[in-house]
Structure 1
Amino acid sequence: MSRILMLSWEYPPLLVGGLGRHVHALATSLVAAGHEVTVVTRHSPGALREEYAEGVHIVRAPDDPPAYPVEDGNLVGWTTAFNHTLTRAALRAARTARYDVVHAHDWLVAHAAVTLREHLDVPLVATIHATEAGRHQGWLPHPHNRTIDDVERWLAAEAARVIVCSEYMRAEVIRQFGVPAGRTDVVHNGVDVLRWYARPRAIAAARRRFAGDAPLVSFAGRLVYEKGVQHLLAAVPALQAVSSGLRVVIAGDGPYRADLEAMAPPGVTFAGFLGGHHLTALMGASDCYVVPSIYEPFGMVALEAAAAGTPVAVSATGGLAEIIDDGVTGVTFTPQDPDSLAASVATVLTDREYARTLARRGRRRVREDFAWPEIAARTLAVYDAAHSPGGVTREAENVLAGDRLQRA
């Protein structure tokens, strides 16, 4: 049995993006496999400061009274303050528990993670979900962007093992941060197929709300430039020309929303943030779910849509190109190319039998290759490897080598 101290800046009920859902699913899957997990995260209004939920010990750190406003996307000051309260909360939890490993999720918890590694004298494992350079297509325009890049590099250097979600991200971390290839492990994100099943009544309600009898295309995610929603909007007129009455729903919020609304053609609805069953129902009601990202380390939302039984069309970039097999489990298109996007999505909208085949194969692949129990087992192998001073242990190497062989 392993005892894991996990650090994350988001955890249910506080969800900002996919990271919080990932940490929740990993933590609960590790507990289901017989391990002890404590997640230390930030507090959200109405949530308990400390509780056991689904077997996970959750400690939530409230903000300290001094305010650190986030201006022009600069999170550095706020994050530095947050790491102080996160560290104190984790140290309180460590008074009554012993841990075998500290697992940090992204740069926002780096300072607390390194402090706890030193204090507890246990290995540090870091999952780098994305990089600042990747999010900005290699351009770090402001001092705070360069600071975040430095913190990511430092976290990767301090960790005994670095986990990434795709071969694309593995190459990026090795190139960007100089992490030795032998210290970097690919562990894909997982998907709970049952979580993304929507009842027929909920699907029917979503269709009535957003499209009626018209064809429906959807997107869900944080509305930032790198998600590429602008290219989906540019493709809408071409899609409406081949699919009469087409409706497009953009679910989510973010700093780019006003710009996207200004460029949206008729037939597009901005639904705001949709959580829980509402998002599942929208995916299940859609004739095609589109992921038009410019930068996407993995693209878990594509697998979630596939788990909901929806045909998916994704930009052939980053991790998306690794998880969607064009013409087999979904369709792909050239990044930042509205014409390519429209052509690929049109093949789904105009051939219902083809669409059903893609959806069936996509859901099967999610169930067979991205189940959380298997993801948890691979993560445990990384923890085991982190304890070996001269490299990985034999058991961990067998698991990770098998994973590499499967990806090849």
Structure 2
Amino acid sequence: MRVLMVSWEYPPVVVGGLGRHVHELARELAEAGHEVVVLSRRPAGSDAATHPTVDERVDGIRVLRAAEDPAHLEFERDMIAWTLAMGHAMVRAALTRLGDWRPDVVHAHDWLVAHPAIALADVLGAPLVATLHATEAGRHAGWLSAPLNRQVHSIEWWLAHRADTVITCSRSMRDEVATLFELDPDAIAVVHNGITPRGWRVSAGRVAATRERYAPTGEPLLLYFGRLEYEKGVQDLIAALPRIRRRHPGTRLVVAGRGTQEEFLVGEARRHRVRRSIDFVGHLPDTELAALLAAAHAVVLPSRYEPFGIVALEAAAAGAPLVASSAGGLGEVVLDGITGVSFTPGDVPGLARAVGSVLDDPAAATVRARAAGSRLGSDFDWSVIASRTAAVYAQTPAGGPLELERPKIPTGNVFGPAD
């Protein structure tokens, strides 16, 4: 099939896990013999004079990266206007450079590319598949209090209803999307994220050196890695650390990642009097992260909201024992007592008990870590993910252009009774 994949991030422009997902999926589809074109963008804040539109082949994929328009717009300050401008640039780049090439399917990844993906599917007469990787309501615990929240939600609603098939990365996300946008859950395809296990194993010498760096006297070492945002629940892990240290004296925590909550989390560490027991190390290169994963006695993922949890797969690929909340897709990736230990999102005492159980019985934790690793090849290999995605493409008919009404947005919590 000829596949036009539309994404606002694609390496080297990577904001989060979505960029890695699209890259691996596109590469695997190309290796399977499909003709893949990825439509993306140049870095935010760049200029067309220094970063012009690029049309190139990378890893067997044609990648079309649209230059930014001259308008002075900033993502952080003018999110919706910036997103619309990006969409216009993508549409013009596609229509002026694709020539006679026509896709058999257009695949949109998240709300930020709703406008260009819908426009191109309409103009080119192709079926539209949309993967919703997360939702605005989910990220804000069901509240759409600010105008920006409501705007994003309405674009998500539009994409979900215009798409000929919707994909989510977990069953919990399928249920969330069906509830939020009033869709038939049986019509939503569930295709998990994948993992490339190679590159996560490191030598014993590097593991020892990393432990020496972060836990020089043999203390228990915990690791969180990922974005530093409120929904990731790192504040709960920090709050649990005093309890963990009472049971396992000297326990240290490494927090790897960047985000808007970094300053808040440092303040929380001081408030709970554990600042000296936590290393905030920022974003780490993959080689350093792999060594830290292998050195940790437990990787803790305390998310309050998590559509899937690709970080859990990366930890499993490195052979690290997992402690994770049961939020969203994490509950499907980390099987309590089998591939890791789970706790209820936001339950600080439960989090502390879960970590304590891993530190109390390292042998059992190792068995669970091996079980987590063994699932990667059967359930989360990219060739399997690509095959399932291609099957969705093949079964998706073209619904054609649709003119849709403006959705009604509840004034209360969208996961509760509508006001």
TM-score, length basis structure 1: 0.91
User: Which residue identity lines up with residue 147 of structure 1 in the other structure?
Assistant: Q
State how far apart, in whole Å, the 1-side matches of 2:98 and 2:342 are: 47
**1:256 equivalent in alignment to 2:256:** no
Cα 1:337–1:80 shift into 2, 3 Å: same
Structure 1 residue matching 2:3: 3-state secondary structure: strand
Return 5+ residue gaps in structure 1 as ranges. 390-408
Say which structure is richer in helix. 1
State how far apart, in whole Å, the 2-side matches of 1:40 and 1:275 are: 26
**1:211 equivalent in alignment to 2:222:** no
Deviations 1:25-53 (A, max 9, x none): 11111111111111111113798823222
Structure 2 residue matching 1:40: 3-state secondary structure: strand
Structure 2 residue matching 1:386: 3-state secondary structure: coil
User: Which residue identity lines up with residue 13 of structure 1 in the other structure?
Assistant: P
Counterpart for residue 126 of structure 1? 130
Cα 1:370–1:42 shift into 2, 3 Å: same
Report the more deviating stretch, 45-54 or 191-200. 45-54
User: Which residue identity lines up with residue 291 of structure 2 in the other structure?
Assistant: A
Deviations 1:189-208 (A, max 9, x none): 11111143334444334323
The 5 Å alignment of 1:219-258 reads: 219-258=224-263
The 5 Å alignment of 1:148-159 reads: 148-159=152-163
Cα 1:210–1:56 shift into 2, 3 Å: farther
**1:340 equivalent in alignment to 2:347:** no
User: Which residue identity lines up with residue 181 of structure 1 in the other structure?
Assistant: P
**1:135 equivalent in alignment to 2:139:** yes
Cα 1:61–1:336 shift into 2, 3 Å: same
Counterpart for residue 292 of structure 1? 302
Deviation at 1:119, TM superposition (A): 1.4
**1:60 equivalent in alignment to 2:65:** yes
Contact 2:170–2:307 (Cα < 8 Å) also in 1: yes
User: Which residue identity lines up with residue 10 of structure 1 in the other structure?
Assistant: E
Counterpart for residue 10 of structure 1? 9
User: Which residue identity lines up with residue 196 of structure 1 in the other structure?
Assistant: W
State how far apart, in whole Å, the 1-side matches of 2:381 and 2:104 are: 25
Contact 2:126–2:398 (Cα < 8 Å) also in 1: no
User: Which residue identity lines up with residue 343 of structure 2 in the other structure?
Assistant: F
State how far apart, in whole Å, the 2-side matches of 1:359 and 1:4 are: 37
Cα 1:71–1:33 shift into 2, 3 Å: closer
Cα 1:91–1:208 shift into 2, 3 Å: farther
Contact 1:235–1:341 (Cα < 8 Å) also in 2: yes
Q: Compute the RMSD of aligned alpha carbons.
A: 1.8
Contact 1:160–1:183 (Cα < 8 Å) also in 2: no
State how far apart, in whole Å, the 1-side matches of 2:285 and 2:80 are: 28
**1:33 equivalent in alignment to 2:35:** no
User: Which residue identity lines up with residue 6 of structure 2 in the other structure?
Assistant: L
Contact 1:6–1:103 (Cα < 8 Å) also in 2: yes
State how far apart, in whole Å, the 1-side matches of 2:31 and 2:206 are: 29
> How many corresponding residue pairs?
387
**1:268 equivalent in alignment to 2:272:** no
Cα 1:76–1:369 shift into 2, 3 Å: same
Return 5+ residue gaps in structure 2 as ranges. 400-419
User: Which residue identity lines up with residue 283 of structure 2 in the other structure?
Assistant: F
**1:383 equivalent in alignment to 2:387:** no
State how far apart, in whole Å, the 2-side matches of 1:378 and 1:308 are: 25
Could you tell me the percent identity over the aligned residues? 48
Structure 2 residue matching 1:95: 3-state secondary structure: coil
Cα 1:71–1:34 shift into 2, 3 Å: closer
State how far apart, in whole Å, the 1-side matches of 2:28 and 2:350 are: 39
Counterpart for residue 107 of structure 1? 111
State how far apart, in whole Å, the 2-side matches of 1:200 and 1:386 are: 48
Cα 1:79–1:204 shift into 2, 3 Å: farther
User: Which residue identity lines up with residue 295 of structure 1 in the other structure?
Assistant: Y
Contact 1:206–1:281 (Cα < 8 Å) also in 2: yes
